[in-house]
Amino acid sequence: MEEHILHTDFGDLYTASSRPSNTSTIKSSSPTLLLLHGQGFSSRVFGPLIEHATSLTQNHSIIVFDYPATAAPPTPRTQAKPIITTLRLRSGQDVIVLGWSVGGHVALELISAIAAASASIKIHGIMICGTPPVPKQHISGFKKDGADVSALFNPDATDEDLGKVADTLIQTRPVPQFIIDDLQRLDRRAGRSMIVKHMEGSSSNQVELLHQSRENGLRS
């Protein structure tokens, strides 16, 4: 992956991208894969996927992205906007989006953000994983087999609390150090504000977005 720092109106944006390794057979029309990480993590969480999913890396360009720090509490809607800038600068005009956890909500917000910006970016498909419905199942969605990971949104959480979150969410043993580092750097106060705003209705009606998008040919 080739790393980039993009200087934009949203601040300096970290991205990394790769070109298809199988250049002899790749079709020029193959969409770019855009990978959006979840709350508390960075784009580094996709490292194992990129390393082992050779069928993807052989046939598609890949872009990963770190959400920028913001003065105001972020929401999935505001986090979608700098992604459009990133795609424009990295020539990602045709994309398939994978959103994990909060990244799934951001992926869905990207649909309306692209339309509002009149951007010449086409989403060919969206896959979300670990993205709980809002608002009824949002809180329960942050529990796994009875293990509470609400420390992600608790400003008073200790390093021990965050270590338990890492043990819950990450199967690899030992947990990679970059996971611990990401969790400890997390602005949990901003994260909690984002969740509160999300549940209060600051985001689009994502179910309606999907229905409308499917009618227009989006695969999800």
Separation CA 169–CA 175 (nearest Å): 10
What global pTM score does this model have? 0.85
Residue 29 structural domain = 2-212
Determine, yes or no, domain membership for 62.
yes
Determine, yes or no, domain membership for 218.
no
Res 20: pLDDT: 87
CA dihedral 72, 78, 84, 89 (to 10 degrees): 10
Res 66: pLDDT: 93
Q: Which residue has the higher pLDDT, 214 or 183?
A: 183
Res 100: pLDDT: 92
Res 36: pLDDT: 97
Res 56: pLDDT: 86
Average pLDDT, integer, range 120-131: 90
Span 133-159, pLDDT tens digits: 665 555 565 555 555 677 888 888 899
Beta strands at 62-65 and 94-100: parallel, antiparallel or unpaired: unpaired
Determine, yes or no, domain membership for 217.
no
Determine, yes or no, domain membership for 199.
yes
Q: Which residue has the higher pLDDT, 98 or 132?
A: 98
Determine, yes or no, domain membership for 203.
yes
Res 146: pLDDT: 54
Determine, yes or no, domain membership for 168.
yes
Average pLDDT, integer, range 170-181: 90
Provide the number of structural domains found in the chain.
Answer: 1
Domain of residue 83, CATH code: 3.40.50.1820
Using CA atoms, how far residue 115 sits from 58, 92, 101, 133, in Å, is 30, 16, 23, 23
